[in-house]
Chain A
Amino acid sequence: MKIMNCPLNGPRNISEFVWGGDIKPMPDPATCSDRQWTDHLFIEDNIAGIVHEWWLHAPTNFWFVARRNTITDEILETMTVDRFFQQTAAGPAGEPA
Chain B
Amino acid sequence: MPLALLKYGLSSKHREDPHFRWAPELKKSYDVVIVGAGGHGLATAYYLAAHHGITNVCVLEKGYLAGGNTARNTTIVRANYLTPEGVAFYKESVELFRGLSLELDINIMYSERGHFTLAHTDAAMRTARWRAEVNKHLGVDSELIYPDDIARLCPTMNMSDEVRYPILGALYHPPGAIARHDAVAWGYARQAMRRGVEVHPQTEVTDVLIENGRAVGVETSRGTIHAGKVVQAVAGSSSLMARKAGFRLPIRTIPLQACVSEPVKPILDQIVVSGSLHVYISQSARGEMVMGGATDPYGLYSTRSTLDFKEGLMGHMLELFPFMAELRVLRQWAGMADMTPDFSPVMGLTPVENYYIDAGWGTWGFKATPVCGKRMAECVATGTQPGLLRPFALDRFDRFDLVGEKGAASVGH
The residue on A at minimum CB distance from B398 is A38
Judged by a CB distance under 8 angstroms, whether B222 is at the interface is no
Which B residues, 211 to 256, have Cβ-Cβ distances below 8 Å to chain A? 239-240, 248-253
| CB <8 Å contact, B300 and A73 | yes
| CB <8 Å contact, A70 and B248 | no
Judged by a CB distance under 8 angstroms, whether A43 is at the interface is yes
Q: Secondary structure of the B side of the interface?
A: loop
Instruction: Known contacts A15-B308, A34-B398, A38-B397; decide if A46 and B300 are in contact (CB<8 Å).
Output: no
| CB <8 Å contact, A46 and B308 | no
| CB <8 Å contact, A48 and B397 | no
The residue on B at minimum CB distance from A47 is B239
Q: Secondary structure of the A side of the interface?
A: mixed
Cα-based distance from A46 to B387 in the complex (angstroms): 29
Judged by a CB distance under 8 angstroms, whether B22 is at the interface is no
| CB <8 Å contact, B298 and A19 | yes
Instruction: Known contacts A15-B308, A70-B301, A71-B301; decide if A46 and B341 are in contact (CB<8 Å).
Output: no
**How many residues of chain B have a CB within 8 Å of chain A?**
22
Select one of B249, B297, B306, B308 contacting A44, CB under 8 A: B249
| CB <8 Å contact, B302 and A73 | yes
Cα-based distance from A86 to B160 in the complex (angstroms): 57
Judged by a CB distance under 8 angstroms, whether A93 is at the interface is no
Residues of B within 8 A of A18 (CB): 297
Which B residues, 131 to 176, have Cβ-Cβ distances below 8 Å to chain A? none
The residue on B at minimum CB distance from A48 is B301
| CB <8 Å contact, B248 and A38 | no
Residues of A within 8 A of B239 (CB): 44-46
Judged by a CB distance under 8 angstroms, whether A25 is at the interface is no
Residues of A within 8 A of B398 (CB): 34-35, 38
Cα-based distance from A35 to B351 in the complex (angstroms): 13
Cα-based distance from A47 to B304 in the complex (angstroms): 18
Judged by a CB distance under 8 angstroms, whether A21 is at the interface is yes
Judged by a CB distance under 8 angstroms, whether B299 is at the interface is yes
Most chain B C-beta atoms within 10 Å of own C-beta, residue among A21, A43, A71: A43
CB distance from B234 to the nearest CB of A (A): 13
| CB <8 Å contact, B397 and A43 | yes
Cα-based distance from A83 to B304 in the complex (angstroms): 32
CB distance from A33 to the nearest CB of B (A): 10
Select one of B240, B301, B308, B341 contacting A1, CB under 8 A: B308
Encode B271-304 as 1/0 by CB contact (under 8 A) with A: 0000000000000000000000000011111101
Cα-based distance from A41 to B240 in the complex (angstroms): 19
Instruction: Known contacts A42-B250, A46-B252, A48-B240; decide if A70 and B299 are in contact (CB<8 Å).
Output: yes
CB distance from A71 to the nearest CB of B (A): 5
Residues of B within 8 A of A1 (CB): 307-308
Residues of A within 8 A of B249 (CB): 43-44, 46
Cα-based distance from A34 to B397 in the complex (angstroms): 11
Encode A3-29 as 1/0 by CB contact (under 8 A) with B: 000000000001100110100000000
Cα-based distance from A46 to B341 in the complex (angstroms): 13
CB distance from B339 to the nearest CB of A (A): 9
Which A residues, 28 to 75, have Cβ-Cβ distances below 8 Å to chain B? 34-35, 38-39, 41-46, 48, 70-73
Residues of A within 8 A of B301 (CB): 48, 70-71
CB distance from B343 to the nearest CB of A (A): 13
| CB <8 Å contact, B302 and A21 | no
Q: List 26 A-B contacts (CB under 8 A).
A: A2-B306, A2-B308, A14-B297, A15-B308, A19-B298, A19-B299, A21-B252, A34-B398, A35-B398, A39-B248, A43-B250, A43-B397, A44-B239, A44-B248, A44-B251, A44-B252, A45-B248, A46-B240, A46-B249, A46-B251, A46-B252, A48-B240, A70-B299, A71-B300, A71-B301, A71-B302
Residues of A within 8 A of B (CB): 1-2, 14-15, 18-19, 21, 34-35, 38-39, 41-46, 48, 70-73
Supply 16 further A-B pairs (C-beta < 8 A) apart from A19-B298, A35-B398, A44-B250. Answer: A2-B308, A14-B297, A14-B308, A21-B252, A38-B397, A41-B341, A42-B397, A43-B248, A43-B249, A45-B239, A46-B239, A46-B249, A46-B252, A70-B253, A70-B300, A71-B301
